[in-house]
Structure 1
């Protein structure tokens, strides 16, 4: 299997292209300043993953920014600190400030010359518009949790994406699903027989950070520690053809 075997890259966004762990941690600072004793970054991210995953299961039709507002409330309650509804809402809106990884925009501009680029993301459309501006590329299709009415790893999201891409003549065997999260993306990608590319942003850290433990390790066809590494590998694959 080679990177040049595919004509479409379907991307997770948050954790893969947008540095959501930095965005989450920075936006939670008003809450974290009240927590005693102080929590480590990974403790914060793991608690966030737990509450976010739970909330997405119980309210799959709720917009992501509204899910995050509830997550803020659940975290404040767990850590026994005060909060206001205004803070909850502000946290939900913080997605627009989450930074892109430094290599994302350049990598996407390069890949756009060789592939259709598609987003499959656990986000709402308004919030993604801000992230899209940071990524500086026009995607060929954008499928959000708000569009589907459920959140990955629900199979509905992958069914929806594959149906819509099939209607546009994109064959499943020509799709490479590209993502960081084993839980949200690679495990369901396996279930649907999709080839997968792991952008292992947390390669220098232990644990799963802001995503849940997937349990069984999914099968991975390609692994890179950054989007820049993916671009280098593609350039090399082109030269070898």
Structure 2
């Protein structure tokens, strides 16, 4: 084992962003007398947000607002641009998975821990307060001016450990944003398979775990 730093995706891996997103949409739409289905919100969100992020770089708060408008349109909700900020306002309240903090504390006892996230620095700061564990460093979309699965976050993480990628172990839930691009760059990867998804053909993470408790157990901490 050559790793001395474990990097994590944040939203989806440490934070239950699907619950947070769905609740934000349901609450905002209910104010207009519209009842949305959580599953439909999340399905539309996963289609729309990567398309918004794939365009020219913009801060994540702008990505959230544009995504909210496009998802609302798909769902037949006439959301106006002036009200699209509800997603940014909701983000600090997105729930942390219950296993996150205790597992991170175990992992931190032996390894440095860091975050690689498609987020603005100020929005991440609010989430880190909610998680309640100190990270050694973070790489954000604001810093790299790009969004995963683009490689900017991973290149910056490698730079932070002196170009020695063998020192990094990346743990993440999203095959699209994290597992595939990290594997393609030759990083050691553990798939935090919270949704019990089938593995894509050709992907070779070191292992699959159901949650962060499983990761801490696998690391022997």
Question: Is TM (by shorter chain) over 0.5?
Answer: yes
Q: Is 2:180 the partner of 1:187?
A: yes
Normalising to structure 1: TM-score of the pair? 0.84
Residue of structure 2 equivalent to 1:197: 190
State how 1:70-219 maps to structure 2 within 5 Å: 70-166=66-162, 171-203=164-196, 216-219=201-204
For the aligned residues, what is the CA RMSD?
Answer: 2.2
Shift of 1:93: 2.4
- Pairing partner for 1:43 from 32, 40, 43: 40
- Output one character per residue of 1:221-241: Cα deviation in whole Å (capped at 9) or x when no partner: 021101112222333xx6xxx
Shift of 1:157: 2.2
Q: Is contact 1:65–1:95 with CA below 8 Å preserved after alignment? A: no
CA distance in 2, matches of 1:225, 1:87: 37
Shift of 1:95: 1.1
Shift of 1:17: 0.3
**Structure 1 residues not aligned, in runs of 5+:** 208-213
Shift of 1:82: 1.9
Q: Is contact 1:64–1:123 with CA below 8 Å preserved after alignment? A: yes
**Structure 2 residues not aligned, in runs of 5+:** none
SS in structure 2 at match of 1:58:
coil
- Output one character per residue of 1:32-90: Cα deviation in whole Å (capped at 9) or x when no partner: 54697854x33321210111101101132x11122111111111222222223342112
Residue of structure 2 equivalent to 1:211: none
**1:70–1:196 Cα change, 3 Å:** same
**1:111–1:87 Cα change, 3 Å:** same
CA distance in 1, matches of 2:209, 2:219: 11
Residue of structure 1 equivalent to 2:25: 28
CA distance in 1, matches of 2:108, 2:93: 24
Normalising to structure 2: TM-score of the pair? 0.91
